[in-house]
Structure 1
């Protein structure tokens, strides 16, 4: 029994104690009542800490994110020379790096292959852009993937995208020893648990990882629960939740591969459409009939139009109720209008979205506006529109694209850079907790909350003040008397510290 804290529960808003038996919450209430009802319980004194449902990160790439933690982190590079200096200092015959973003550099361009080769000194170098939809590759790495030179997206001197990128990425991953790959996964899972995350959705696939990579991750015996998705149209012999996740309809805006109806504002291209509406419909029909969750990566407005048409065609074949029952999911959903959102909501679609995208690239002067122009660039990630249309919102990081930082994601969703696109703190918190479980098909009404009958999956936080809804409905701060109001969430200006993360009664992280 946990006592002496503040418990975030929909059924016991003034609870200061919580009792757990065999990994399940069995009671919530006041300390003195809990001690009387459970005299033989093992008692844990929370010393005023706040207990809440653990977070779910609904979109990750664990190995790549772990390699960022253990390898060459380029997210802090602020210029082209700084990136080249980081490559020169790197060690090993294969250098794996991630996170460069030329739109934030004074040069406003990535290095040429000749510049990269000079810095690499003969090493095979793979450096993914921050959106992971294009990469710099040294000549030594390209020589390991000769098919890249004849593939779509090949550049003799610049970043590689599309199929060429997939070829060099596969060569770079094949060069990483299995032990190093597993160590990267373990590092990522430990890091996620330290952020109060009890479950992650791994968006694997034939173009971005491998079957063996996913198998290793699914067999991890510690840390957050891994829900696996395979981004392919063909089944994989692993216990995945569905053929969804990063099954690409298009690419990304930063790499100019997201499929647009009108060309990019800063380049003569409209991106790349990888799947047609017919192919999308065929996949949805197959998944629905097989009882599987299907889904796609979709960002650009042309890609979204193809997805909506694909759902319409699928509904005509299997029926809208059967389609909705499968809870098919879409990743990112950045460019979507009100009519499309309404249709997706009627089909029971899950929107797996990343609020930190807006924090990093939104607003009138961000990367989105550079790529699309201000009018289009400030219309992205309309969370309020998606929520009001009835889509299930599930928050994630797309790590390593953005940080694994749930509280920052909640702040970004509430303080959206475009007026009218943000949602309330409570809705954002639910999207990062219960929404993640619902996105994976767990919709029993209790998982992702703390109430009797719910799995004891929670995090313990050191927080400053909690926002409190007082009896007269005014928002106040947590006072010395918790009975003065109903405690809500930490202030958006606070940065809570995770003290412990628990998955079904088992501690997976404890702060030392």
Structure 2
């Protein structure tokens, strides 16, 4: 016996194969019919779209669900604009916590402050009333911590990246992060994960790629999230970032041994591995590379032995060069065709060159990128310019150049590094600070929908087509619709750009394989 069928009628469908389609029929989780509403077949239920736009649902190709949920319900420091602002926020938040609680916060970004002096561990102790404090920087690759937190993990003083001021990076950051998150109970983690997935669904996101691993989460957190996948919330496709850990990734239920397998750090923390020194580094640092080409090669060989997709976090051009050297070594053993068939990934790929882009093309590497990075930190007077200089900053996040030569793109947010915001990300890719790196809205939308499905080898997903999974979102489009997609940019070219005021679409319903996982106005 089949499940009840549902007819969605009276809308505008993003269906290039049938541009005039205004209705679709869902039966048993798939699109059983689509076409003109006047020709629609009968159904058990009918949903009047009232002129709304229907598109394939989004995929966010890089998230950290537990962290995202904790930020949604916890201390969000993204609005802080000074050390004093951070301390005031900590004091207010800590006042409502038990004396033995850990203050968890996220999102401060000193690159946007007029005075970049940070609060130190002593000041955080005072603000939090002696409680342990862990405040991750926007990149999640460093953190500010209190003296009480440092005292709780004495081994941190001998770890690389330790600083008595309380701004910890590299290995020291991993130590304090593990100690901080050990305070979060299993029930709190599950609640945070559910909150993150529900929020994603409310934004028209039907699937996410969770990037976990021993340095950023733990196995219980990872498997617990995978257990929630698709149960009234978006589907979760997990990547486990452990070097040489393909067998363990498969045991944990991951689709790949990659994601946040760190080849370097982050630009915000000056730990991304770049070929030229940071402009604002007094020591002339080029950041830090965490892997060798041989380790990359061996990891890819391990993935091949277990029939698993691999991948790496690589932001700086020096780190990406190391990763590509490892790919070349693996190709000598496996052949280029076998490497290409695996669709291995690189997360972020922010500082590229023509040579590096050519390597992505040669080895069929999927670039999992975050357009919001350029929107928030690109352009004159922002973090990329401070770290790299204006010319290098304008060459960063070259999504347009990569798309133009055939690099497979999958867009995401890296939430909570940047917020879940799929239409905002599509517009950011179309409005890159560097006009030479801009993509069309249509291409950017494909990267944030079909690109995410292709990255996990589900090539038939992400389209409105007969027989395809009924996974879509219904949108109010205050700025209108043009050729099956919402208008995201101002008509006046002079107004277009990262600050474009054009209102973004609002999600009314998200459907995953025929099941409604979000409906506007429902609790």
For normalisation by structure 2, the TM-score amounts to 0.92
Picking from 175, 188, 209, the partner of 2:217 is 209
| Cα shift readout 1:94-131 (whole Å, capped 9, x = no counterpart) | 11000001112222121111111221211011000011
Identify which range, 104-113 or 452-461, moves more after superposition.
Answer: 104-113
Matched, 1:78 2:81: yes
- Matching residue of 1:137: 145
- Matching residue of 2:235: 225
Picking from 252, 258, 272, the partner of 1:244 is 258
Structure 1 residue 416: deviation in Å?
A: 0.2
Matched, 1:383 2:399: yes
When the two chains are superposed, the root-mean-square deviation of aligned CA atoms in Å is 1.2
What is the rounded CA distance, in whole Å, between the counterparts of 2:383 and 2:125 in structure 1? 28
CA contact (8 A) 1:346 1:390 kept: no
CA contact (8 A) 1:153 1:164 kept: yes
| Cα shift readout 1:340-362 (whole Å, capped 9, x = no counterpart) | 21221121110000000000000
Structure 1 residue 467: deviation in Å?
A: 4.5
Structure 1 residue 465: deviation in Å?
A: 4.4
What is the rounded CA distance, in whole Å, between the counterparts of 1:116 and 1:465 in structure 2? 45
SS at match of 1:43: strand
Matched, 1:197 2:209: no
What is the rounded CA distance, in whole Å, between the counterparts of 1:419 and 1:224 in structure 2? 34
1:432-511 equivalences in 2 (<5 Å): 432-444=448-460, 447-468=461-482, 486-492=483-489, 493-511=502-520
Structure 1 residue 364: deviation in Å?
A: 2.1
What is the rounded CA distance, in whole Å, between the counterparts of 1:109 and 1:205 in structure 2? 32
Picking from 19, 26, 29, the partner of 2:32 is 26
SS at match of 1:376: helix
SS at match of 1:219: helix
What is the rounded CA distance, in whole Å, between the counterparts of 1:509 and 1:39 in structure 2? 25
- Matching residue of 2:280: 266
- Count, aligned residues: 490
CA contact (8 A) 1:395 1:432 kept: yes
CA contact (8 A) 1:10 1:451 kept: no
CA contact (8 A) 1:24 1:504 kept: yes
Matched, 1:66 2:69: yes
What is the rounded CA distance, in whole Å, between the counterparts of 2:301 and 2:65 in structure 1? 29
CA contact (8 A) 2:82 2:118 kept: no
- Matching residue of 2:106: 98
Moved over 6 A (4+): none
What is the rounded CA distance, in whole Å, between the counterparts of 2:426 and 2:441 in structure 1? 7
CA contact (8 A) 2:112 2:382 kept: no
| Cα shift readout 1:35-57 (whole Å, capped 9, x = no counterpart) | xxx22442111111111000000
What is the rounded CA distance, in whole Å, between the counterparts of 1:6 and 1:452 in structure 2? 16
| Cα shift readout 1:5-41 (whole Å, capped 9, x = no counterpart) | 111112211111011110101211111101xxx2244
What is the rounded CA distance, in whole Å, between the counterparts of 1:412 and 1:137 in structure 2? 33
Picking from 7, 10, 18, the partner of 1:4 is 10
- Matching residue of 1:427: 443
Distance 1:465 1:360, change over 3 A: closer
What is the rounded CA distance, in whole Å, between the counterparts of 1:459 and 1:488 in structure 2? 12
- Matching residue of 1:188: 196
SS at match of 1:507: strand
Structure 1 residue 205: deviation in Å?
A: 0.5
CA contact (8 A) 2:257 2:311 kept: yes
For normalisation by structure 1, the TM-score amounts to 0.94
CA contact (8 A) 2:275 2:286 kept: yes
